[in-house]
Amino acid sequence: MPELRAVLRNPQLEPRVKVAVLDDLLGGADEFVHNFLRLVAEKGRSGQIEDIAREFDRLLAVEERRLDVELTTARALSEDEARDLLKQIEKASGRTVEATRKVDPNLIGGFVLQAGSMRVDASVRGRLEGLRQELVKGR
């Protein structure tokens, strides 16, 4: 919600105003979550709630041995194809894989796997680019 983000990041608003906004929005939320977000706002850190949530998700993924990946393929995969590919990734990584899938026809064929800062490019486009760079170096 861009409007909420703007309110929480606005340095001109006092923390108590931000707490009131969160209180209104969180009405029936879990008490632990409500109290945590209220504390964050009271301490003047409400503009960092998204960063806190990302870090919490990262720590939870480590604890659960979960690997969040972005899988980009040249064409849409069938459910069976996607499941088989993700099982291979799980086997290689030793973790449970949760994938966001995208299609990019510019890859020509193959796939690109992004997990955090790690990137595996097994696409035809990536291989052609690698070959081009090798040819340029060889001059």
Q: How far is Cα of residue 52 from the mean position of the Cα atoms in its chain? A: 13
Overall domain count for the chain: 2
Supply the pLDDT for residue 62: 85
Looking only at the bridges linking them, the beta strands covering 110-115 and 118-123 are antiparallel
Residues 51 and 78 reside in one and the same domain: no
29 and 89 assigned to the same domain: no
User: Beta strand 110-115 with 66-73: parallel, antiparallel or unpaired?
Assistant: antiparallel
Helix (H, G, I), strand (E, B) or coil at 94: coil
Judgement on whether residues 129 and 72 belong to the same structural domain of the protein: yes
Dig out the tokens for 94 from the structure: 């030793």
Do 71 and 122 belong together in one domain?
yes
What pLDDT, on the 0 to 100 scale, is given for residue 75? 95
Rounded Cα distance, 28 and 13, in Å = 24
Which domain covers residue 92, as residue numbers? 66-137
**pLDDT tens sequence across 40-77:** 888 988 889 889 988 998 899 889 999 999 999 999 99
Which sign does the torsion angle of CA 80, 81, 86, 92 carry? positive
* 68-121 pLDDT, tens digit each: 999 999 999 999 999 999 999 999 989 999 999 999 999 999 999 998 888 999
